[in-house]
Amino acid sequence: DAMVIQNPRYQVTQFGKPVTLSCSQTLNHNVMYWYQQKSSQAPKLLFHYYDKDFNNEADTPDNFQSRRPNTSFCFLDIRSPGLGDAAMYLCATSTAGTSPEQYFGPGTRLTVT
Amino acid sequence: AQSVTQLDSQVPVFEEAPVELRCNYSSSVSVYLFWYVQYPNQGLQLLLKYLSGSTLVESINGFEAEFNKSQTSFHLRKPSVHISDTAEYFCAVREFAAGNKLTFGGGTRVLVKP
């Protein structure tokens, strides 16, 4: 089945130690998104790629970076994680066509110690 | 700018009882509307969507939602809930021709009690 895959599902990192979360998709969608979701809150968009074009949200901290080496893969890099970065990170995809819905992966829960 | 309001943050409901989750949005242009469901430690799953046409949309597991343009609402209903419907439900809006972004409501946590 076509899907959005996130690895790992659970990630523990130390305060200040760089960490990378990965997302892959078999849907061949041209738009990929990264969201941060804290407990009991709605997902918050960090940035998205429209093909290779990177679109950063105005309030996304510089500590968060992203890479999209090809259509299928997208990475979220947190350069120096703080305790406040502990959250669920969700990857989503969509196609810039007549189907405007986004398809989400299962998420990676990040713990910062 | 668009915004989405889910009026109830939590809705406790007994099994086999009906439930309604309210969603109102504000936008100056036409929109697409969505309901997503999130089970604990999972991603969001699309429950149903309104793109155009009939204002009443249904999901395969008994949920339905009705788009009301005059009231700018997209309330979600189920006539008889199951324990397995315990989850968080998010209403989301995307404006026509405004890029690919979704605006989410704050979520409604449904707790189904036996």
Domain count, chain B: 1
Is A51 within a domain? yes
Contact list, B89 vs chain A (CB under 8 Å): none
Which 3 state secondary structure label does DSSP give B91?
strand
Q: Can you give the pLDDT at residue B75?
A: 97
**Sites in chain B below the pLDDT cut of 50:** none
**Domain containing B13 — which CATH number?**
2.60.40.10
* Model confidence pLDDT, tens digit, residues A21-64: 999 999 999 999 999 999 889 999 999 999 999 999 999 999 99
pLDDT, position A98: 66
- Which residue segment(s) compose the domain that B27 sits in? 3-113
Write phi, then psi, for B10 (nearest 5 degrees).
-140, 140
Count of domains forming chain A: 1
| Long-range Cβ contacts of B38-42 (<8 Å, 24+ apart) | B38/B87, B38/B88, B38/B89, B38/B90, B38/B107, B39/B87, B40/B87, B41/A88, B41/A107, B41/A109, B42/A106, B42/A107
CATH of the domain at A99: 2.60.40.10
- Whether residue A113 lies inside any domain: the answer is no
Contact A106 B90 (CB under 8 A): no
pLDDT above 70 covers a percentage of chain A that reads 96
CA–CA separation, B75 vs B63, rounded Å? 10
Tens of pLDDT, residue by residue over B21-31, are 999 999 888 88
Supply the pLDDT for residue B48. 94
Shortest alpha-carbon distance between residue B15 and chain A (Å): 23
Q: How confident is the model at residue A2 (pLDDT cuts 50, 70, 90)?
A: low
| Domain coverage including residue A94 | 4-107
Q: Which residue has the higher pLDDT, B99 or A81?
A: A81
Check residue A58 and give its pLDDT. Answer: 92
Residue A112 domain flag: no
The verdict on B44 touching A (C-beta cutoff 8 Å) is: yes
For residues A29 and B53, give the distance between their C-alpha atoms in angstroms, rounded to a whole number.
25
CA atoms of B25 and B2, how far apart (whole Å): 7
> Which residues of chain A approach chain B closer than 8 Å at the C-beta?
4, 6, 31, 33, 40-43, 45, 48, 50, 88, 90, 92, 94, 96, 100-107, 109
